[in-house]
Amino acid sequence: MMIACVGRVAQSAHHQQVRHYAKKERSRAPLTPTKSKVKKYKMKAPSSMKFRFRTMKDGQVRRWRAGKRHNAHLKSKEAKRRLRKPALVHLAYAKVIKKLNFCG
C-alpha cells in the first residue's frame, strides 16, 4: 500500500473520492412539447441505389443478381441464364429499402 503525503493529511492510493448525490431525481414532465414543430426531413437516397432496386406493382422490390460481370467462361450456361433474371428482395429488407426511398 502506497501512502502519499499531501500537506499534513495522509491519503492512501486505494482511497477513491466518492460523490454523494442527492436523492434520485423526481420524474418530471418532458421539457420539450409532445408535438415538435421541427420540420421532419426525408432521407435522400443515394442515386446509385435507385437503379439497383425497382418497386413492382404489387409492392415487392426487385433486384438484379450478382456474379455475371466477369469470369463468365467459368460459369455454366444454366448459371449465366439464371443470373440474367432478376430476383426479389426479402420482405424484411424490402420494407427498409422502401422506407429509405432506395427504389427508383
CB 23: neighbour CB atoms within 10 A? Answer: 5
Q: How confident is the model at residue 8 (pLDDT cuts 50, 70, 90)?
A: low
Report domain extents, the chain: 42-104
Q: pLDDT at position 91, please? A: 92
Distance in angstroms (rounded) separating the CA atoms of residues 80 and 40:
45
**β-pair type (87-88, 61-63):** antiparallel
CATH of domain 42-104: 4.10.410.60
What confidence tens digit (pLDDT) does each residue in 91-104 have? Answer: 999 998 888 888 87
Q: pLDDT at position 57, please? A: 92
More confident residue, 83 or 8: 83
What confidence tens digit (pLDDT) does each residue in 59-73 have? Answer: 999 999 999 999 999
What confidence tens digit (pLDDT) does each residue in 19-57 have? Answer: 655 555 566 666 666 666 777 777 777 888 888 999 999
